[in-house]
């Protein structure tokens, strides 16, 4: 990434507007940080507004970049106005404008970056570009109070196991092909499951009704995982069933789509638990923080909790307000950077689809 402006650190109450639009969720958030005490941790942040609007496509369809970008352009002004009204603030109260600089889908990212630049110039406020992944991590830490956890970041576009060291979020393991959320979303299309409110959530509901486990490929390679073979296999089973060629469980009952959703979740979540436990052992941590949209899944949280309890550890997770892509996480991470003197110039405010988590200097942490 290009070099960024660095100014003296700030030690007073600050307020940020955050814009998120890396995929099909458009989010606008406003957050306030209070001045850090001379001794002890920073007081908890105050969430003033957290507004979101989702681009939803018909069952069996994904969301195309150009259509998603059009959605963001259509709704971004309304969401900014709604966030200001909810917070009770005016543009004069805002210290900086934060936006997702990457990673994500190119056209939606560009739409939100243009909106952020425009607001920055209209309001005469500095810009702060934010790494989407770091936004998830910092919001999770803020909400849950997790101190220095191993982070499992699972979403539609990312699957990473992360731990902090020397002002970087280091990636210990990740997917070798597609993200876990993308795997779930694509299987939802195969089954023609509704995308409202999200395909992954609807798969979770169907999985709760599943009774039979269908053995699927289990692909863990060291600290990394692979989803493509699992998806290809279970797609084949689903297509056989829909074509009138049923599969049978050991008790003779016909395998249903609910059984397939249950089996897919159990398999890929077990893989994620395995590599997360390995990272915990490596860094000596007893905390796991689950972030990203798939982190809302209760079954994933339950399976991770079983593992953590066996290690005398604990699992931290948030609800859908903060797990699913949102503007408040961008405002929060951006404000943390802003308070250290970080700024993004207009020339450097280009977005990028590939922006690694470990590229970001975490200057606000010195532990």
Annotated binding site for substrate: 153-157, 185, 200, 204, 297
Binding residues for a divalent metal cation: 132, 136, 153, 325
Binding residues: 132, 136, 153-157, 185, 200, 204, 297, 325
Query: Which three-class secondary structure string do you get for the chain?
Result: CCCCEECCCCCCCEEEEEEECCCCEEEEEEEEECCCCCCCCCCCCEEEEEEEEECCCCCCCCCCHHHHHHHHHHHHHHHHHHHHHHHCCCHHHCCEEEEEEECCCHHHHHHHHHHHHHHHHHHCCCEEEEEHHHHHHHHHHHHHCCCCCEEEEECCCCEEEEEEECCEEEEEEEECCCCHHHHHHHHHHHCCCCCCCCHHHHHHHHHCCCCCCCCCCCCEECCEECCHHHHHHHHHHHHHHHCCCCCECCCCCECCHHHHHHHHHHHHHHHHHHHHHHHHHHHCCCEEEEECHHHHCHHHHHHHHHHHHHCCCEEEECCHHHHCCCHHHHHHHHHHHHHCCEEECCCCCCCCCCCCHHHCCCCCCCC
């Amino acid at each position: 990434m290009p070099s960024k402006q660095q100014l003296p650190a700030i030690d007073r109450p600050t307020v940020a507007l955050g814009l998120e639009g890396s995929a099909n969720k458009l989010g606008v958030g406003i957050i306030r940080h209070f001045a850090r005490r001379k001794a002890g941790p920073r007081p908890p942040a105050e969430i003033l507004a957290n507004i979101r609007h989702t681009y939803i496509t018909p069952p069996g369809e994904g969301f195309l970049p150009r259509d998603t970008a059009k959605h963001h352009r259509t709704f971004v002004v309304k969401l900014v106005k709604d966030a200001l009204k909810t917070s009770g603030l005016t543009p004069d109260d805002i210290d900086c404008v934060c936006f997702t600089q990457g990673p994500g889908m190119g056209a939606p990212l560009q739409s939100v970056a243009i909106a952020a630049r425009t607001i920055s110039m209209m309001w005469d406020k500095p810009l702060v570009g934010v790494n989407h992944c770091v936004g998830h991590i910092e919001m999770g830490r803020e909400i849950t109070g997790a101190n220095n956890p191993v982070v499992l970041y699972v979403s539609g576009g990312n699957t990473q196991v992360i731990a902090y060291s020397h002002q970087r979020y280091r990636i210990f393991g990740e997917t070798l092909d597609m993200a876990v959320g993308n795997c779930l979303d694509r299987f939802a299309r195969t089954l023609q499951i509704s995308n409202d409110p999200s395909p992954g959530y609807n798969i979770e509901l169907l999985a709760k009704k599943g009774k039979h486990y269908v053995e699927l490929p289990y692909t863990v390679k060291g600290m990394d995982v692979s989803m493509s073979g699992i998806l290809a296999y279970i797609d084949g089973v689903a297509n056989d069933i829909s074509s009138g060629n049923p599969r049978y469980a050991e008790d003779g009952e016909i395998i249903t789509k609910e059984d397939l959703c249950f089996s897919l979740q159990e398999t890929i979540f077990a893989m994620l638990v395995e590599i997360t436990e390995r990272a915990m052992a490596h860094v000596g941590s007893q905390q796991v923080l689950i972030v990203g949209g798939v982190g809302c899944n209760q079954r994933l949280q339950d399976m991770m909790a079983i593992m953590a309890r066996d290690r005398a550890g604990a699992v931290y997770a948030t609800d859908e307000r903060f797990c699913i892509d949102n503007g408040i996480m961008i405002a929060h991470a951006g404000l943390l950077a802003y308070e250290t003197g970080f700024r993004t110039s207009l020339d450097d405010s280009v977005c990028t689809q590939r922006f690694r988590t470990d590229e970001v200097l975490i200057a606000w942490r010195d532990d």
